């Protein structure tokens, strides 16, 4: 079961499902039911009684042989009933008055199945019937009805005598005859106000051609018959010309022949082109079973017709003659023939021609197509699509009639050079499905061009409207456009409609401006937006609609990006510099550099070897402001105790840097004495000396510091960068110089103990192997 429409219960399609009966489980709200092309042979009232809202019922191509219309008494809304192509022989006449379309054609009725109840079908528009014989008053019950269409199936008609049938009122009468028998129906059919007549399955030869013309005599008598159509017609050329001659003086304005087969021979026939009401002749799908004939005979009949519109399509015709000067052709359609570039060359008689269609022929030269139009001074519409047209510049400049405003050159093999061979005043130009790669800039000005279709080519860019100043409609989908220009809409301000989807858009920075410009244009202008506008590259964006592709201006503007990065880096540099200055980072870096170099030198030197290089017992570090105490008190006492000391003013080597001298003195001294005071704290060089001495330069685990507190130092007076001094003041024992003289002896005793004199002589220098005195602050 196939369900359709917005609400699935409204339409049910169960066609071609090998059903033998109407299903019982149909949705009760079904309004459209299709159970055609099955094997249903009977209908019962219970099959459809619960479908009270049913409006359309298709039962064609089944095996129903009897129908009682009373089964539809619960389907009072039924409007469309198709029972064609069944095996019906009888019906009952309990009809539903709501019917608008009733098709009983292609059944097995002996006579037309019309009863008096048919007269109640006042809403009926279409009626399909079938019969094997006709009676004049068969349709009398519906004489008062005004039908739009009557389909009469006469495939089984076999009457041997001339019969009559009066069809009082219908606009269109369609008669279907046997498809494999010579036309032999002899019925006088009269119809009031007939507007369209269609005959299907007509087989004629030279002998029975008159049977058809006689049959048509009564039908074509009325002045209202304007359209006459013949379908599936097989005839000789002689009979076809006779039918044309018969219809020429009739009031028919439009004559159409579909699926025409010509048999026998094609010889010259007399044809008198008298005054005619015929405006248009259309012949489509012609099969010619005559292989040897004079083409001039064939083409002359059509080229000399004094009508305005002629269509001959899908035929084996390879040429058409230039008509006489008196021709009235305004419309010529020769689609899908075998015409070549020679058609209508040097033909100056088609001065009234307004529309010429040569689609799907064998034209090859665009230059010759232009020459063909030279004398067609009224030509406005030219369609030469579906050929093999090319333009070679070696052919010379193109010549076109200046009146062409619509030109269809689609589905050819034209390249970029086509833009040098176009009518100057063309307004609508169709070039889709060609081999165009670009639109050359130095081309002729097409200032009148309003619509341009270049879809399905290989264009890489949108066109510049400088050449097409009046362009309002552009179709350029399915090309190779990857990065369209963002200023297209600025240069093409008259654009009212553009279709540029299904292109391989590269979603990169270059596309950003185009996407923004699309967003600023009305959705009515950009056709197919946003569904057919999708990214093709890069891979992570593939399939993403352009409307969802976003990239920041910063990442796309190199100058802005560089400025932003530069400002950011500059700002960070300023901040880092300020922080470095605030936290004395340069000082720490210098310290770390010197310390690292010293550690590298001392890393692999054993303690015994280091001791052999010692020259001093102690290195004294102090502030210059405390030099009086050092020189008057500390140095004399130490030298009196045979302790060899190192002082900067007498032991620093000239020419070396201060840092290098400090390190050398510390390395060559067994201990380092630091005289601490507020003055010491303010001296950067003193802190250098303390830093290097504390970092165990000679060996891990060595203890070589002696701290003397000359004056008390408040904790808040020690700068934050001297965190080593803070730590030493907190963690290590230091000797405090007493202000009272009676305590000086104890202070010197502690100094002596700190050295723990046990001398060794190395390179002429007395050294000690000290034990570090630990204890509380003195």
Segment 461-470, tens digit of pLDDT = 988 877 788 8
192 SS3 class: strand
d(CA 529, CA 527): 6
Give residue 444's pLDDT. Answer: 67
Does residue 14 belong to any structural domain of this protein?
yes
Give residue 92's pLDDT. Answer: 87
CA distances from 465 to 496, 499, 520, 737 (A): 13, 16, 19, 98
Query: 693 or 538: whose pLDDT is higher?
Result: 538
Contact 183, 212 (CB under 8 A): yes
Give residue 768's pLDDT. Answer: 41
Query: 252 or 494: whose pLDDT is higher?
Result: 252
Does residue 773 belong to any structural domain of this protein?
no
Contact 458, 435 (CB under 8 A): yes
Angle at 141 between CA 140 and CA 143, to 5 degrees: 60
Give residue 778's pLDDT. Answer: 23
Q: What is the CA radius of gyration of the chain?
A: 56
Crossing angle between the packed helical segments 295-303 and 237-247, to the nearest 10 degrees? 10
d(CA 545, CA 665): 76
Domain of 56, CATH number, reads 3.80.10.10
CA distances from 448 to 77, 385, 493, 759 (A): 56, 21, 15, 116
Q: What is the 8-class DSSP label of residue 259? A: E
pLDDT category, 725, cuts 50, 70, 90? low
d(CA 760, CA 768): 6
Does residue 66 belong to any structural domain of this protein?
yes
Crossing angle between the packed helical segments 237-247 and 209-219, to the nearest 10 degrees? 20
Does residue 538 belong to any structural domain of this protein?
no
Give residue 465's pLDDT. Answer: 79
Query: 331 or 445: whose pLDDT is higher?
Result: 331
Residues 6+ apart with CB under 8 A from 772: 703, 754
Domain of 622, CATH number, reads 3.40.50.10140
Give residue 400's pLDDT. Answer: 95
pLDDT at 353 over 80: yes
Cis peptide before 530 (omega within 30 of 0): yes
Q: Where are the alpha helices (DSSP H) in 603-743?
A: 607-612, 627-629, 635-640, 648-651, 658-667, 678-681, 684-694, 723-731
Among 723, 646, 668, 669, which Cα is nearest to 691's?
723
Query: 719 or 366: whose pLDDT is higher?
Result: 366
Q: Which residue has the tokens 């519109």?
A: 309
Partnered with residue 534 across adjacent β-strands are 545
Q: What is the mean pLDDT of the chain?
A: 85
Domain limit, last residue, from 139, 154, 186: 139
Instruction: Report the Cα 400 to chain-centroid distance in Å.
Output: 37
Segment 533-587, tens digit of pLDDT = 999 888 888 888 888 888 776 667 667 668 878 888 988 988 888 887 776 666 5
**What is the percent of the chain with per-residue pLDDT over 70, rounded to a whole number?**
85
Does residue 17 belong to any structural domain of this protein?
yes
Q: What is the 8-class DSSP label of residue 535? A: E
Give residue 64's pLDDT. Answer: 95
Partnered with residue 263 across adjacent β-strands are 236
Number of domains in the chain: 2
Give residue 761's pLDDT. Answer: 39
Among 20, 19, 25, which Cα is nearest to 3's?
25
Mapping DSSP onto H, E and C, the string for 555-624 reads: HHCHHHHHHHHHHHHHHHHHHHHHHHHHCCHHHHHHHHHHHHHHHHHHCCCCHHHHHHCCCEEEEEECCH
Q: Torsions phi, psi of 435, nearest 5? A: -125, 40
Structure tokens at 499: 């279709």
Question: Beta 616-621 vs 196-203: how paired, if at all?
Answer: unpaired
Q: What is the mean pLDDT of residues 664-691?
A: 77
d(CA 122, CA 104): 18
pLDDT at 68 over 80: yes
Q: Which residue has the tokens 């002896």?
A: 745
Structure tokens at 657: 């840097």
**What is the percent of the chain with per-residue pLDDT over 90, rounded to a whole number?**
47
pLDDT at 312 over 90: yes
Q: What is the mean pLDDT of residues 678-696?
A: 68
Cis peptide before 370 (omega within 30 of 0): no
d(CA 106, CA 88): 9
Give residue 691's pLDDT. Answer: 65
Partnered with residue 499 across adjacent β-strands are 475
Partnered with residue 709 across adjacent β-strands are 676, 736
Structure tokens at 666: 């510390």
Contact 690, 725 (CB under 8 A): yes
Instruction: Report the Cα 291 to chain-centroid distance in Å.
Output: 51
Structure tokens at 250: 């009739």
Does residue 602 belong to any structural domain of this protein?
no
Among 711, 677, 703, 723, which Cα is nearest to 768's?
703
Among 511, 516, 509, which Cα is nearest to 490's?
516
Q: Which residue has the tokens 């015994």?
A: 608
Q: How many CB atoms lie within 10 A of CB 229?
A: 17
Does residue 438 belong to any structural domain of this protein?
no
pLDDT at 594 over 80: no
pLDDT category, 698, cuts 50, 70, 90? very low
**CA end-to-end span of the chain, whole Å?**
109
Q: What is the 8-class DSSP label of residue 689? A: H
Q: What is the mean pLDDT of residues 494-510?
A: 90
Structure tokens at 536: 């093709």
Residues in the chain: 778
Where b means 16+ CB within 10 Å and e means fewer, 728-763 reads bbeeebbbbbeeeeeeeeebbebbeebbeeeeeeee
Structure tokens at 730: 């907190």
d(CA 282, CA 229): 9
Structure tokens at 570: 């500059």
Does residue 369 belong to any structural domain of this protein?
no
d(CA 603, CA 619): 21
Structure tokens at 34: 């299709």
Domain containing residue 71: 1-139
Among 67-81, 99-113, 697-711, whose mean pLDDT is lowest? Answer: 697-711
Sheet holding 734-736, edge to edge: 645-646, 616-621, 669-676, 705-709, 734-736
Give residue 767's pLDDT. Answer: 43
Q: Which residue has the tokens 């088609």?
A: 350
Give residue 770's pLDDT. Answer: 37
Element (H, E) at 777: none
Domain limit, last residue, from 139, 171, 205: 139
d(CA 638, CA 629): 13
């Amino acid at each position: 079961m196939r369900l359709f429409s917005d609400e699935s219960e409204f339409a049910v399609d169960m066609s071609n499902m090998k059903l033998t009966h109407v299903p019982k489980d149909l949705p009760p709200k079904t309004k459209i039911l299709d159970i055609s092309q099955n094997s249903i042979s009977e209908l019962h009232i219970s099959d459809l009684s619960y479908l009270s809202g049913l409006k359309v019922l298709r039962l064609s191509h089944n095996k129903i042989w009897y129908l009682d219309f009373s089964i539809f008494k619960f389907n009072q809304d039924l409007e469309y009933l198709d029972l064609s192509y069944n095996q019906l022989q009888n019906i009952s006449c309990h009809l539903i008055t709501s019917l608008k379309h009733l098709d009983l054609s292609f059944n097995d009725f002996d006579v037309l199945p019309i009863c008096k109840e048919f007269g109640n079908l006042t809403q009926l528009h279409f009626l399909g019937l079938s019969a094997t014989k006709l009676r004049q008053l068969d349709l009398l019950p519906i004489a008062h009805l005004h039908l739009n269409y009557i389909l009469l199936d006469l495939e089984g008609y076999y009457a041997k005598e001339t019969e009559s049938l009066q069809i009082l009122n219908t606009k269109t009468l369609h008669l279907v005859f046997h498809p494999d028998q010579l036309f032999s129906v002899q019925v006088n059919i009269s119809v009031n106000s007939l507007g369209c007549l269609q005959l299907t399955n007509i087989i004629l030869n030279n002998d029975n051609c008159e049977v058809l013309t006689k049959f048509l005599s009564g039908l074509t008598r009325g002045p209202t018959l304007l359209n006459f159509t013949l379908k599936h017609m097989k005839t000789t050329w002689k009979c076809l010309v006779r039918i044309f001659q018969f219809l020429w003086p009739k009031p028919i304005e439009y004559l159409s022949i579909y699926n025409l087969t010509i048999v026998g021979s094609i010889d010259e026939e007399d044809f008198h082109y008298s005054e005619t009401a015929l405006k248009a002749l259309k012949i489509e799908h012609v099969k010619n079973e005559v292989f040897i004939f004079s083409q001039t005979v064939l083409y002359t009949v059509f080229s000399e017709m004094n009508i305005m519109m002629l269509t001959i399509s899908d035929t084996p015709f390879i040429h058409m003659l230039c008509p006489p000067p008196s021709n009235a052709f305004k419309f010529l359609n020769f689609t899908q023939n075998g015409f070549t570039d020679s058609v209508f060359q040097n033909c100056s008689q088609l001065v009234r021609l307004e529309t010429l269609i040569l689609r799907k022929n064998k034209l090859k030269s665009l230059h010759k197509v232009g020459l063909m139009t030279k004398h067609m001074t009224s030509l406005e519409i030219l369609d030469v699509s579906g050929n093999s047209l090319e333009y070679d510049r070696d052919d010379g400049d193109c010549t076109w009639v200046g009146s062409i405003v619509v030109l269809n050159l689609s589905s050819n093999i034209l390249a970029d050079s086509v833009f040098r061979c176009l009518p100057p005043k063309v307004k609508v130009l169709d070039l889709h499905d060609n081999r165009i790669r670009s639109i050359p800039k130095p081309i002729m000005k097409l200032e009148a061009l309003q619509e341009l279709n270049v879809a399905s080519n290989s264009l890489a860019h949108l066109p510049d409207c400088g050449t097409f100043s009046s362009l309002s409609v552009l179709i350029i989908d399915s090309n190779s456009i990857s990065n369209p220009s963002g200023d297209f809409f600025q240069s093409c301000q008259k654009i009212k409609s553009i279709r540029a989807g299904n292109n391989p858009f590269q979603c990169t920075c270059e596309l950003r401006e185009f996407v923004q410009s699309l967003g600023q244009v009305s959705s009515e202008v950009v056709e197919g937006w946003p569904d057919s506008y999708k990214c093709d590259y890069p891979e992570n964006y593939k399939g993403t609609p352009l409307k969802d592709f976003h990239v920041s201006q910063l990442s796309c503007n190199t100058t802005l990006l560089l400025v932003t990065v530069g400002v950011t880096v500059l700002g960070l540099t300023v901040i880092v510099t300020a922080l470095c200055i605030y936290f004395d980072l340069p000082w720490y870096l210098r310290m770390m550099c010197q310390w690292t170099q010293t550690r590298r030198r001392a890393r692999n030197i054993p303690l015994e070897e280091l001791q052999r290089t010692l020259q001093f017992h102690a290195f004294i570090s102090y502030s210059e402001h405390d030099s009086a105490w050092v020189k008057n008190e500390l140095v004399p006492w130490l030298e009196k105790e045979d302790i060899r000391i190192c002082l900067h003013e007498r032991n620093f080597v000239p020419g070396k840097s201060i840092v290098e001298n400090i390190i050398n003195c510390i390395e060559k001294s067994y201990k380092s004495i630091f005289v601490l005071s507020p003055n010491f704290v303010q001296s950067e060089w003193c802190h250098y000396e303390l830093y290097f001495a504390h970092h165990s330069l000679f060996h891990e685990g060595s203890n070589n510091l002696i701290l003397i507190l000359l004056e008390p130092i408040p904790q808040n007076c020690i700068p934050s960068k001297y965190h080593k001094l803070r730590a030493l003041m907190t963690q290590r024992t230091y000797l405090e110089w007493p202000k009272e003289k009676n305590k000086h002896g104890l202070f010197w005793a502690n100094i002596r103990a700190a050295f723990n004199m046990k001398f060794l002589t190395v390179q002429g220098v007395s050294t000690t192997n000290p034990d570090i005195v630990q204890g509380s602050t003195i």
